[in-house]
Amino acid sequence: MLSPGQRLRSLREQLGLTIREVEAASIRLSQKYGNQEFVLSLSRLSDIETKGVLPSIYRLYSFSIIYRRDIKEILSWYGIDLAQWARDLEMVAVPKTHKLELLPDSSSVRVPLAMDPAFDLRRTANIGRMIQKWGTVPFSFLAKLAEDDYTYGYIGTEDFTMYPLLLPGSFVQIDETDIQIKNEGWRSEYERPVYFVETRSGYTCCWCSISGDSIILQAHPLSPVPSRVLRYPQEAEVIGQVVGVAIRLGDWKPLESSPAPKERAALN
């Protein structure tokens, strides 16, 4: 298997570029951005190609531009696979609830192209077994998804506001068009709307109610987190209503230092 430096040299030779031409092109890049770090000097280029010297992020960008190759591909030669970005997120337990930003851009994505005709949305099923065919689809075909009025959030591992209804570490889908707080109309806690709210101290998922010019951020009755009353809308902004939840049941465990949940009040 070729080393990253050998791959870069092979690319340069395939394009018919000399090391002096590469150096000259990188100098033009450095002049454009006012940063000498973009320069691929003769000696540095030789060290990268033959001695395994690791290029800086600026020189990686220069290689990408001069050699006409996706920088993600070049990074993969050095052991950085951006396709693993979403999966690697699971390795870090973030304590605070936050909005989930977009994944790194990509020209294509693998998606299910055909489902088993027996697939029934009403029944619990193993989705992996229901997918008959996977395929690579350009993101341009998925552009209509950008028109959806949804954003996504992550419930921090130390956010027990809606525990045990929503476990810490859950991912939530938020309808940004539904920010009107409903104070009635549900028959149980499972039907009561949950909102994703931004406050001055961060984000939280909770039940909400309005009282005058105040908003009550109500925690689950079994949660150890107290409810809060804030000025509305000065101190709290409703991002939207939670309409979907993804929970990893097997891997999640409460922290040893987590406060004990409240006991449910006795029913009259």
**Pick from 83-97, 231-245, 246-260: least confident:** 246-260
Contacts within 8 Å (CB) and 24+ apart, 140-147:
142/109, 142/111
pLDDT at 129: 61
Q: Give the total residue count for the chain.
A: 268
179/237 Cα distance (integer angstroms): 9
- Give the bridge partners for 172, in sequence order: 153, 245
Which residues are CB-neighbours of 102 under 8 A, at least 6 positions away?
Answer: none
Count CB-CB contacts under 10 A for residue 66: 21
Burial of 258 (0-12, 13-18, 19+ CB in 10 A): middle
| Structure tokens belonging to residue 159 | 């956010």
Contact (Cβ atoms closer than 8 angstroms) between residue 159 and residue 96: yes
Among 118, 108, 106, 111, residue whose Cα is nearest residue 134: 111
Q: Is the predicted pLDDT of residue 66 greater than 60, yes or no?
A: yes
Torsion of CA 45, 46, 51, 52, to 10 degrees: 20
pLDDT tens track for 7-46:
999 999 999 999 999 999 999 999 999 999 999 999 999 9
Query: 101-126: string of b/e by CB count within 10 Å (b at 16+)?
Result: eeeeeeeeeeeeeeeeeeeeeeeeee
Q: Model pTM?
A: 0.61
Mean pLDDT across 78-100: 83
- Write down the residue that tokens 């101290």 correspond to: 201
Binning pLDDT at 50, 70 and 90, where does residue 216 land? very high
Domains defined along the chain, listed by start: 4-80 (1.10.260.40), 103-146 (no CATH), 150-246 (2.10.109.10)
Question: Which H helix or E strand runs over 42?
Answer: helix 42-50
Q: What token pair was written down for 118? A: 């027996």
User: What token pair was written down for 125?
Assistant: 């099923």
pLDDT confidence of residue 78: 95
pLDDT band at 113 (very low <50, low <70, confident <90, very high): low
